[in-house]
Amino acid sequence: MKRFEVVSKRKLNENMTWLVIYAPLVARKARPGQFIILRTDEYGERIPLTMAGHDEEKGTIDLIYAAVGRTTMLMDQLEVGDCFADIVGPLGKPTHMEGLKKVCVVGGGTGNALAYPLATGMHAAGIEVDMIAGFKNKDLVILEEEFRAGTDNLYMVTDDGSYGEKAFTTDKLKELIAAGNQYDEIIAVGPPIMMKFVCQIAAENNIPSVASLTAYMIDGTGMCGGCRCNIGGEDKFVCVDGPEFDGALVDWDELIQRNTFYATEEADERAHVCRLTGGVRYHD
């Protein structure tokens, strides 16, 4: 097996894919909540992705990603037997689990891919896990079987009611708290606006919250400052201090603003992936 070779590839829905990749040195040290940074080829951009799982014996790591831009669209074109140029990791701090007895993990859309290792990792460590998995509609639902097998209670909700219960994740969370569930922690993983409101609900109910932040990253080692976020008035680097932070301390409005900073450039890069040949036209 070659280094960073794609071992298996499974489409979860039109937009999301599950890859298993041979990366034995990364797999040996991986823990739930950690991520890697990869490049598809030597000219490629570096992008961070959470490890959805790892198998130390087989030397593999799992990535679940949404094809949203140039690099993830290029990843879609890799097949079993193809190799990534490089994968660096594990990066970031593993999920904090000490002292927790019962938690509620709230995943929104693509964030469910990141919530998966976290929720199932906590369950495997003996913590009781209620999982709220929210999607816009039925076509976007992923990982239902996996969540059902790897958590204690799964609540599937969609915005339009086309699958599971018609509710926002925040409605379901309020309902579970009102029903008397005593959570030691609520963990939010999804679009920043969803995480902001999940963490607000937690604070209103005096429950600690944790949010997994997906800031823009470049080196992933604390050197470039690209992933800087304001946490409780202090500058923190998501790549080395996170990616999980106390949800009550995150400056959500700043984070939401920063995440749209490169919208024009990203649209331009996407336009350079040829839909017919899959080729990329690099800038000079």
Ligand X SMILES: Cc1cc2nc3c(=O)[nH]c(=O)nc-3n(C[C@H](O)[C@H](O)[C@H](O)COP(=O)(O)OP(=O)(O)OC[C@H]3O[C@@H](n4cnc5c(N)ncnc54)[C@H](O)[C@@H]3O)c2cc1C
State the DSSP string of the chain: --TTBEEEEEE-SSSEEEEEEE-HHHHHH--TT-EEEEESSTTPPPEEEEEEEEETTTTEEEEEEE--SHHHHHHHT--TT-B-SEEEEEESPPPP-TT-SEEEEEEETTHHHHHHHHHHHHHHTT-EEEEEEEESSGGG---HHHHHHHSSEEEEEESSSSSSEES-HHHHHHHHHHTT---SEEEEES-HHHHHHHHHHHHHTT--EEEE-----SSSSSSS-TTEEEETTEEEEHHHH-SEEEGGGB-HHHHHHHTTTTHHHHHHHHTTB-TTT--B----
Q: Does 72 bind ligand X (CB under 6 A)?
A: yes
User: Contacts with ligand FES in 59-98 (CB under 6 A)?
Assistant: none
Q: Does 229 bind ligand FES (CB under 6 A)?
A: no
Least Å distance between CB 163 and ligand FES?
Answer: 36
Q: Does 224 bind ligand FES (CB under 6 A)?
A: yes
Stretch that binds ligand FES, among 105-113, 214-222, 252-260, 263-271 (CB under 6 A): 214-222
Least Å distance between CB 267 and ligand FES?
Answer: 22
Report the residue from 31, 93, 102, 270 that binds ligand X according to the rule CB under 6 A.
270
User: Contacts with ligand X in 103-162 (CB under 6 A)?
Assistant: 110, 113-114
User: Contacts with ligand FES in 128-167 (CB under 6 A)?
Assistant: none
Q: Does 45 bind ligand FES (CB under 6 A)?
A: no
Stretch that binds ligand X, among 1-9, 62-70, 150-158, 202-210 (CB under 6 A): 62-70
Least Å distance between CB 186 and ligand X?
Answer: 20
Least Å distance between CB 6 and ligand X?
Answer: 16
Q: Which parts of this chain interact with ligand FES (CB under 6 A)?
A: 217-220, 222-227, 237, 239
